[in-house]
Structure 1
């Protein structure tokens, strides 16, 4: 895919540097096809990542979060293969993997569970109070708004 610049889109915007970085990241990395996974929205601010990890034990899986990158790693145990076995069809993947997903700055990992070959990671968007929408009054300075009514 050709490399293109998104800078014309950001000429009239302020503070969208991270969005530009996200586009660059998406254009550089290939979409992984192993392991299979779902990203589910379970509520207004709740999400779940479900990773199909058939053939892995819970102790072979590792979840790390660093710089808003959630990395799920599965380490396959190398077993000596039986040379007398001839596969007519081999559709079950038995290999290590590393799946990395970028999280928004206000997304927090709540819990992770492993059941029936599925790794489930629950996420929640927790927006700090100072980032919530607020009403901006016209014609008043911030200090006047915080002062008592007698000061007006």
Structure 2
């Protein structure tokens, strides 16, 4: 069953997260749903991606920003013999993952933090001054008159 919700108004107000809406419209597959994430708009040029990474430590997560692609991947460190636990039930997913986010032009990662099982990545859109629209003043001075010099 297809999702009949119209995402068009939200597409206009996002910064490079069109793949998210494509994903929501198509439903995605089970492999693409891990780990779950949120994308929120904090201001005109500030965004936050929050990824649920319960069970992962900061040294087991890699965040890579390259051109317009942000990649978040996680891999649990191998368990040593001294660290082995005897689990009666394992419900916390700790499988390796890789999540990719397509970013718009001029969006950069500002800061990343891991707390309470949530990885937060703050993004900032910084358009260079030369790329921003600017007003061109129309000269209001009198037109310049070119004097006709006649031969004497």
| TM-score bracket for the superposition, by shorter chain length | 0.5 to 0.7
**Higher RCO (CA-CA < 8 Å; seq separation 6+):** 2
Alignment partner of 1:111 is 2:117 = no
In the TM superposition, residue 110 of structure 1 has moved relative to its aligned partner by: 0.8
Query: How far off is 1:136 after superposition?
Result: 4.8
Deviation sequence 1:12-71 (CA, Å, 0-9, x none) = xxxxxxx9xx77xx68xx562000111110111100111111000110011101121100
Aligned to 2:54: 54
Q: Which runs of 5+ in 2 are unaligned?
A: 1-15, 145-152
Structure possessing the higher radius of gyration over alpha carbons:
2
* C-alpha deviation, 1:77, in angstroms: 2.8
The offset of 1:76, in angstroms, is 1.6
Aligned positions of 1:118-129 closer than 5 A: 118-129=118-129
Question: If the length of structure 1 is used for normalisation, what is the TM-score?
Answer: 0.63
Distance 1:86 1:110 in 2: 41
How far did 1:92 drift?
Answer: 2.1
- Secondary structure, aligned partner of 2:33: coil
SS at match of 2:62: strand
Structure 1, unpaired ranges of 5+: 1-18
Q: Secondary structure at the match of 2:130?
A: helix
What's 2:45 paired with?
Answer: 45
TM-score by length of 2: 0.63
> Which range moved further: 45-54 or 31-40?
31-40
Aligned pairs, how many? 117
